[in-house]
Each structure stands twice: as structure tokens, then as C-alpha cells.
A = this chain, B = another copy of it.
Amino acid sequence: VRAEIVAVGTELLLGQIADTNARWMSEQLAAAGIDVTNHQAVGDNLDRIVEALRLAAARADVVLVSGGLGPTEDDITRDAIAAFAGVPLVFHAELETMLREKFRRWSAIGAMPESNLRQAYVPEGARWIVPDRGTAPGLALRLDGIRLYAVPGVPDEMQEMIGGTIVPELRELAGGDVITSRILRCAGMGESAVAERLADLFTSSTNPTIAYLASMGEVKVRITAKAPSAAEAEALAEPVVAEVRARLGDVVFSADDESLEQAVLRLLGSTKRTLACAESLTGGGVGERLTAVPGASASFVGSSVVYTAEAKRRVLGVPDDVLAAGTVTQACALAMAIGARDLYGADVALSLTGAAGPEPHDGAAPGTIWVAIADTSGFTHARGFVSRGERDRVRRWAQQAGLDLVRRHLEGAPLPETSLPG
């Protein structure tokens, strides 16, 4: 089964938003064993939408359209589908009732503008998918051997229909084979070094297949198996997962596609320890990531964002002589970690300080980073290194290095040493 995704919206062509819907839909379809061969994006223009639908229908079995189902005049996906199929739009009183009911229930959004009645029209012969989160019904149509679905462009409304209705229908259509992906996530080793260690597996293994994806401070190794049942696919994948883990060792922080912050919280929970942070260059980004995980408060107590030297002294008690020698130093990182551990009464503390750039900071070149940990046994460890790249990248690298230091400490794995000269 081959699928194609068509995104509708002038805002995409103007670059006001990225097409994150296509990414999400593609990921879901791949997991369901559906090949996605093309993405298209077109503006709110009837002729161009029809042209895109014709092209997609000519080369795919399933066409998924997102966007253009809203209540305003520039929402014309309904009209384009009707034009493409050569059928009229038909008004459905049931949909009007549903719309009026939603507006009545969500009194905060006010009375229903009459323009919303556009959403009660459906191309003749099409089914609709009842919306839960939004007001726009999805559409489903079979035509000349292809299946065409249209969903709203609002991400959570799209996800509800793709995940709840469309993927289950397509999974059935794809029949037999199930695709299972296992994702091993790695920190502290570059993509080419990971690939080198797995080169022969990469070449020789066809089911499962191995793929790499590198992002800042992290490499994902994806092992994808295809089999008639999920259990058989998992059984195919398992020995390769085990072999990859054995070869990469403590570089792998998760075999279940956990983020680094999820892995840290899992390890804190299983070792019954609490974590506090002291953040300078990351400005709160480490706390933000940890608290994005529901239930983080079981292990993460807080973070002192101390952006100025004075704040480091006042909040964390970093001594004046340490501050005078520079805030982007091993001594300052260690004093910050110890200060946060004691201020919060945490079992382990992580500190991050550095020069995010673009200017040098307190005598340190842009990209210079120090991360340190301290625990209640009196153990401390600091690591200094230089990150290439611009401000965002430096801050992200610091987060990754800091979280990975905590992860390794909790796992009892070797801790990386300082690579700064001198």
C-alpha cells in the first residue's frame, strides 16, 4: 500500500509554519506498514489543490489531505475534493446539529457564526469522521480504487482522526505484515563512530533493517522488522537489538526510545534518589526538559537558574574568590553543584555553566562549557569541553552533556573527562 500526503495552506508556502503534520502522519503510517512515497504542499487555491489531488491519486493507493477544513472562506479543501471527484457538496443536518451542540457546550468560544455551517457540507458519496477535539469533520472517500481522506490542519484534531480512525482502517488494508521499530538512543558518541561499530550489521541485515538518525548530542539507531505478527517482528528484531547494545555498551541510554531526561528520571526513580540543578548558560532548559515528563516531581526537586555572578554568590553561595577567577571554570561548576545539592537537600546535583555566545563570557571563548555533579557522599566530577556552533546549539549540547553525566553517574558507567586544553 502506497500513500501520499497533501498539505493545504498558504501559510506553509509563506514559511509561516513548518509542515509538522506530514512528519507525524508519516511516522504513524510507517509504523503501520504503509509506504509514504511523496509529500506535497499547496496553497489555498482550488485549481492547485485539485491538481495535487490528481497527481497523488495517479501514483498512490491512499491520499491523505490535511488542512483547509475550517469555517472561513479560505478553507476550500471540501470544494476541491468535490471538484476532483466530480460530485456536488451536500448539506447534512446531522452535522449542523453537532456543530451547534459543540458551540453550546463550549460557551467560552461564543455563539456559532453562520460561517461555521460550511463544515456541515460533505462531498456526495463521502463519509465523515466525527470530530471530538475540534469542530471540523474529517472526510473519507473511495474513488477509482483509491482511498482519499481529509483531516483538519490543527495538529491535535488531525492526530485524533489519523490515530483513531484512519490508521486502523489502513492497517487492515495493508493486511498481513506488521512493522515493529525498536529505537536505541545513544549519547557521547558521534554518528560516524556509531556507524563504524555497526557497519557489517548494517550491510548484512535486511530484516530487520538498521538506520541512523543524528541530532544534537544524540544518535538514534532504529531497528525495523517486518513480519506477519507483532510477536514475530519483535522476535526478529530482538537479537539485533541485543547485538547493537553489546557493541555500543554504555553509550546506549535507552532501548525504548526514551529521551535522555526520561532515562534520567527512570534511573532516579529506580535508585530512589532526587536531583537538583544549578543552571547558568542553559537558563532553565534542563529543568524545563525534566518537568516536561509527567510525574517528574517524584525525583526532580528544582533548579537554581543563576544567570549572573551575583546570583551565583547570593543563591548558591559560590565563594567570591571562585567568582573572581571566572564563572566558566571547573571551580565554579563544582561550587554551583554543591550549592544546589545543599540548597535543595537533593541526593545528586548537576550544574551547567559556560559561554553560550556569540560573545566571549567572563574570559571564556564562545562554546566553552563546564558541567559538574555532586552527591551527598561527597563525590564530585566536572567535565569541561568546547562545543562548535551557535548559541542554541551550544546551549543544547550543554544540556545533553549535563543530563548524560547524571545518567552515567546513576548507572555507574565511566564518566567522561575534560577535553579542554590546559
Contact = CB atoms under 8 A, between A and B. Distances in A.
Interface of A: 7, 11-20, 22-30, 35-43, 48, 52, 55, 110, 156, 192, 213, 222, 276-277, 279, 281-292, 294, 296-297, 300-308, 310-311, 314-315, 343-345, 356-359, 389-392, 395
B291 A315 contact: no
A137 to B, nearest CB: 20
A277 B287 CA distance: 13
Given A11-B213, A301-B311, 10 more contacts: A13-B39, A15-B25, A39-B40, A276-B311, A287-B287, A294-B357, A297-B307, A301-B306, A304-B315, A311-B344
Given A37-B43, A308-B302, A315-B343, A23 B27 contact: no
A80 to B, nearest CB: 15
A305 B287 contact: yes
Contact of A279 (B11, B192, B284, B310): B284
Contacts of A110: 192
Contact of A302 (B300, B311, B359): B311
Nearest to A392: B292
Given A13-B36, A40-B39, A283 B294 contact: no
Contacts of A276: 311
A307 B301 contact: yes
B301 A291 contact: no
A418 to B, nearest CB: 16
A115 to B, nearest CB: 11
Complex A-B, nearest 5 residue pairs according to Cβ-Cβ distance, in ascending order: A284-B284, A283-B291, A15-B27, A284-B287, A15-B26
Given A304-B304, A391-B292, A16 B311 contact: no
A43 B333 CA distance: 45
A11 B15 CA distance: 21
A389 B155 CA distance: 12
Q: Which of A29, A40, A55, A277 has the most CB of B within 10 A?
A: A40
Given A23-B17, A283-B292, A305-B302, A39 B37 contact: no
B282 A314 contact: no
A200 to B, nearest CB: 16
Given A18-B19, A38-B48, A42-B38, A288 B288 contact: yes
A386 B16 CA distance: 28
Contacts of A285: 284, 287-288
A22 B18 contact: yes
Contact of A22 (B11, B19, B303, B314): B19
Contacts of A288: 282-285, 288
Given A19-B18, A26-B13, A290 B283 contact: yes
A52 B52 CA distance: 13
A311 B291 CA distance: 14
A37 B26 contact: no
Nearest to A224: B14
Nearest to A31: B15
A26 B38 contact: no
Contacts of A38: 13, 40-42, 48, 52
Nearest to A344: B311
Nearest to A357: B294
